Amino acid sequence: MTDSVQKAVETQLKNIQERTGKSLTELYSFIKDSGLEKHGQIRSMLIEKLGMGYGDANTLAAVFLQPNTADSQPPAGEDMLDTYYAGSKVALRPIHEAVMTEINKLGEFEISPKKTYVSLRRKRQFAMLGPASKGRVELGLNMKGLDGTDRLLPQPAGDMCQYKVFLTSTDEVDDELLGWIKTAYASAG
């Protein structure tokens, strides 16, 4: 089964190559030759030296730092989800994939992989998605003007997202959830 996150990352990597005029192998060599090893340093260097946008530089740095990427061909893309959804969290992966399938229908956006979740961005972040504790997937949404519910949980000012929704089943990827996702997507655009 093709993973929607993998497709989005591959699309972003393809766009990065088009915008820079460099292949992934050339970009990986450029990063490796810099001697930088920390994500933030690599991201900053790509922005400064190649004029990349934050999202592209962030994604390329994250992909480069995945095990074996620096010395091999571009990653298979599944590695990110394999890391997030390992061990006791493996059963949560279909929920993540169901949410990403629906988000991919909305249009273009960037995926910035983090250590334990993916950040989804247009002009700014509209969602965060990844496994949470207690056997559930956490979807963070950024949008304003909605009243919280038992399901749509408002977050304190200053948090990474304005609302959170916890999902324990693919059945919860329903019209209500999709409405919130569409609102967040539209507000980031």
Chain segment 6-51, per-residue pLDDT in tens: 777 888 888 888 888 888 888 888 888 888 888 889 989 999 999 9
pLDDT for residue 1: 28
pLDDT for residue 25: 80
Strand partners of residue 128: 119, 140
| Token code pair at residue 176 | 């209500």
Residue 83 lies in a domain: no
Both 59 and 123 in one domain: the answer is no
Residue 143 lies in a domain: yes
Whether 33 and 25 have beta carbons less than 8 Å apart is answered as no
pLDDT for residue 110: 85
Instruction: Please count the structural domains in the chain.
Output: 2
Residue 59: name the closest of 79, 32, 73, 39 by CA.
39
The parent domain of residue 181 ranges over 88-187
pLDDT for residue 86: 81
Residue 97 lies in a domain: yes
pLDDT for residue 75: 39
Strand partners of residue 187: none
Give every residue of the chain whose pLDDT is below 70, as ranges: 1-5, 67-79
pLDDT for residue 73: 39
What CATH number is given to the structural domain containing 169? 3.30.1460
Both 97 and 42 in one domain: the answer is no
Of 49, 78, 107, the position where a domain reaches its end is: 78
Query: What's the pTM value of the predicted model, to 2 decimals?
Result: 0.61
Of 48, 78, 108, the position where a domain reaches its end is: 78
